Structure 1
Amino acid sequence: MGNMKIAVIGTRGIPTSQGGVERHVEELYARLAQNHDITVYCRNNYTPSNISEYKSIKVRRLPNLNTKHFDAISHTFLAACDTFRHDYDIIHFHAIGPNLLSFIPRIKRRAKIVATVHALDWQRAKWRMFAKTMLKLGERASVTFPDLTISVSNAMKEYLKEKYGRDTIYIPNGINKPALRQPAQIRDYSLKKHGYVLFLGRLVPEKNPHLLIQAFKDLKTDLRLVIAGDTSHTDTYHESLMKESANDDRIIFTGIVGGDLLRELYSNAYLFVLPSSLEGTPITLLEALSYGLPTLCSDIEPNLEIVGRDGQYATVFHSEDLQDLKVKLSAMLADTNGIRVKAQKASEKIIDSYNWDKIAIQTERAYKTIIE
């Protein structure tokens, strides 16, 4: 099988400015588009109307209902129906919400269906009972309708096997080789090299930035805390973070970051903290480690799969344990040399193990197993 015609459904769109699934889609399919015909379905309110192709990827914009509960599923429905008009070999759904509708293209039966499970989204705090129920059905659909299911972590692979008795294949997220940068744009935020602790991610409860803010406020340090990210239909939570930080001028909110600014933040931070209670394979963790950035993360299974259970590549704290987070954070602030030695080992391992070029090859091979 030579050139394949592949449709991608489930991302907000490309080029990306936020979101793990969006980053995954952009990096993966920019590589596959060198040898295959790739179409990524994008939401009208996310991808500019003047973009019809990006990094050799065809961009297909369709409407969506821009509300918390119907944003993703409305767009997924239209995209899944639109596939009837095209002669795709592979239709690849990403995330358990969109995966709920992966049965629709099977009506035509020609295309092979692939689904990737990025995270157990029904566990996210922003969803209420009805949405959680739909997402759980999407989780089941992820291993029911597709010809092939991909898990982004071994923990996810084991979970799906134990719960549904379905074998999936493990293909993780990846990173690009880091591009170290000297301070320039970060000076606009009054930041200097090794002068701040970095949090990077969506400002949602399961990422636990509130926990980090609470821990940081109790520390006596001249370092600053940078909270880089934006909301995801969680404006009330965002407001609570702002109130929590109001009396500490060491805490900075940057909003969404990307490009050179993102690279500068990684290159010059003293420490990266990921306090999440829910992840798939966190790209921000991979990226921080690839930059040789000393890292503190929660001891949830997807994180441990990356950093090791023995603290070989990062320091871990008990998930959602504020006191343990304070203790570990304080210890890392006092051990500059030790944490940098560990971080350098992590960088070498991550760059070799989580490489987008290798991941693209693995994905291409997986497609071919169901086509040939």
Structure 2
Amino acid sequence: KASTNKTVAIIGTRGIPNSYGGFEYFAEHLSVSLVNKGYQVLVLEPTKALVKLENYQGVVRIPIKVSKLFPHAIRKIIYGCKSLKKAKRINADAIICCGYTPALFFIFYSKSFRKKIIVNLDGIEWKRAKWNFVGKLFLRLTEYLSVKWSGKLVADNKGIKDYILKKHGEETELIAYGVNIPTKKPEVGPLTAKGLTPNNYGLTVARIEPENQIELIIKSFITAGKTLVIVGGLCNRYAKTLHNIYSNLPNVVFWGAEYNSDNLLSLRSHANLYVHGHTVGGTNPSLLEAMACGCKIAAHNNMFNHHTLDNTGLFFDNERQLSDLIENYWNKTESWGTDAKLRAAEQYSWEVVTNKYIGLIENATNKLNKKPKSQCQK
């Protein structure tokens, strides 16, 4: 464990430990890894009230009060504004900003302060099907402001890096998300409790949203006559509609949201095939976790998934292609699950990811002539 008195603030997430998705997964693992390297890490979290949050494995959690009376989009903007002000007040040495929204306020800060900001770029967020015209316009604006006003840009996938270079003419640092290779032996109890047989079901773990191709995946498994387990919450109209249509079918299992790591390990390790339908975004944590478990993987055919998997998975464009993959590979023992696990261990370890972020943090802080630091909130 290194000795350092540097403080890193992480903003733009809904908090840790992860109970939501990609940025929270990233913030949880990176913050703990940085603490273990000797940094003081603060994760700024939106809360309904200024309540005291317990530290998480050495990470200081700081509440940022945002009233629930506002619509979700407005709450995100308020949180972005307040979290930047808090990061400045505590005189953080570096600020890791997850996503674009706080970039609305970068222009109001000095150049020296902006040099501290490392933006972990979201996927090509404005392309998501759930956004209307105004939403897409807002996301394109915040994407532009992030590129223009931040100190350093990080892309978690080469597809995003290439997009930013082509669209905005700016270079980004390529640092993917990390993953830990499981060391526990997976149990079968969580499966048998739901009537599942090991190695006799397919699995997808995702937010149930249109761009993740959930209905296409369901129809492909119905055509192939195999069981599909869908892990994801029924948090929106699209998810509830699919549940109403397909939940009565015997081979379609809506598991619900799941954040118990042992249950997820069991589901992934005993799946015959893992299907990743994400069409936008970058290096997705759920795909990395499937790779780390040695799953056979069929992924939607797009640049993000190709850059993540390389040649350790199979790819589909449509329902027919996926149903053919299911039928052709269900009973075959292939090496690509083992190859995916090896790639996860070599390319996506949290040790590698953390050291790359430390390089950015040290580079940002070494460029600044710092003023005396204020006492950090405990």
Could you tell me the TM-score, scaled by structure 1's length? 0.91
Which amino acid in the other structure matches residue 356 of structure 2?
Q
Deviation of 1:148 after TM superposition, in Å, equals 0.7
Rounded to whole Å, the distance in 2 between the matches of 1:125 and 1:6 is: 34
Deviation of 1:332 after TM superposition, in Å, equals 2.0
My pick for the range that moved more, 185-194 or 285-294, is 185-194
Other structure's SS at 2:85 match: helix
8 Å Cα contact 2:121-2:155 kept in structure 1: yes
Q: Do structure 1's residue 184 and structure 2's residue 189 form an aligned pair? A: yes
Aligned residues: 359
Rounded to whole Å, the distance in 2 between the matches of 1:153 and 1:102 is: 24
Other structure's SS at 1:60 match: strand
Rounded to whole Å, the distance in 1 between the matches of 2:51 and 2:329 is: 46
Deviation of 1:18 after TM superposition, in Å, equals 2.4
Rounded to whole Å, the distance in 1 between the matches of 2:300 and 2:55 is: 39
Q: Which residue of 1 aligns with 2:293?
A: 291
Deviation of 1:49 after TM superposition, in Å, equals 4.9
Alignment of 1:186-335 (within 5 A): 186-221=191-226, 224-231=227-234, 235-258=236-259, 259-308=261-310, 312-318=311-317, 321-333=318-330, 335=331
Q: Do structure 1's residue 15 and structure 2's residue 17 form an aligned pair? A: yes
How many percent identity over aligned positions?
24
Q: Residue 262 and residue 246 in structure 1: after superposition, are their counterparts in 2 closer, same or farther (change >3 A)?
A: closer
8 Å Cα contact 1:91-1:111 kept in structure 2: no
Which amino acid in the other structure matches residue 128 of structure 1?
N
8 Å Cα contact 2:147-2:153 kept in structure 1: yes
| Cα deviations by residue, 1:66-96 (Å, 9 ceiling, x for unpaired) | 4342232221122112223211111221112
Gap regions ≥5 residues in structure 1:
none
Rounded to whole Å, the distance in 2 between the matches of 1:148 and 1:349 is: 27
Q: Which residue of 1 aligns with 2:370?
A: none
Gap regions ≥5 residues in structure 2:
367-378
Q: Residue 98 and residue 19 in structure 1: after superposition, are their counterparts in 2 closer, same or farther (change >3 A)?
A: farther
Other structure's SS at 2:224 match: coil
**Cα root mean square deviation, aligned:** 2.1
Deviation of 1:9 after TM superposition, in Å, equals 0.8
Q: Residue 323 and residue 153 in structure 1: after superposition, are their counterparts in 2 closer, same or farther (change >3 A)?
A: same
8 Å Cα contact 1:81-1:105 kept in structure 2: no
| Cα deviations by residue, 1:266-302 (Å, 9 ceiling, x for unpaired) | 1111110011211210111111111111110011111
8 Å Cα contact 1:89-1:112 kept in structure 2: yes
Q: Which residue of 2 aligns with 1:117?
A: 121
2:145 aligned residue (141, 148, 152): 141
Other structure's SS at 2:148 match: coil
Deviation of 1:102 after TM superposition, in Å, equals 3.6
Q: Residue 50 and residue 63 in structure 1: after superposition, are their counterparts in 2 closer, same or farther (change >3 A)?
A: closer
Rounded to whole Å, the distance in 2 between the matches of 1:57 and 1:6 is: 10
8 Å Cα contact 2:247-2:253 kept in structure 1: no
Q: Residue 243 and residue 58 in structure 1: after superposition, are their counterparts in 2 closer, same or farther (change >3 A)?
A: same
Rounded to whole Å, the distance in 1 between the matches of 2:276 and 2:114 is: 43
Deviation of 1:220 after TM superposition, in Å, equals 2.2
Rounded to whole Å, the distance in 2 between the matches of 1:49 and 1:251 is: 41
Q: Residue 331 and residue 303 in structure 1: after superposition, are their counterparts in 2 closer, same or farther (change >3 A)?
A: same
8 Å Cα contact 1:203-1:231 kept in structure 2: yes
Rounded to whole Å, the distance in 1 between the matches of 2:43 and 2:222 is: 43
Deviation of 1:111 after TM superposition, in Å, equals 6.5
Rounded to whole Å, the distance in 1 between the matches of 2:114 and 2:23 is: 26
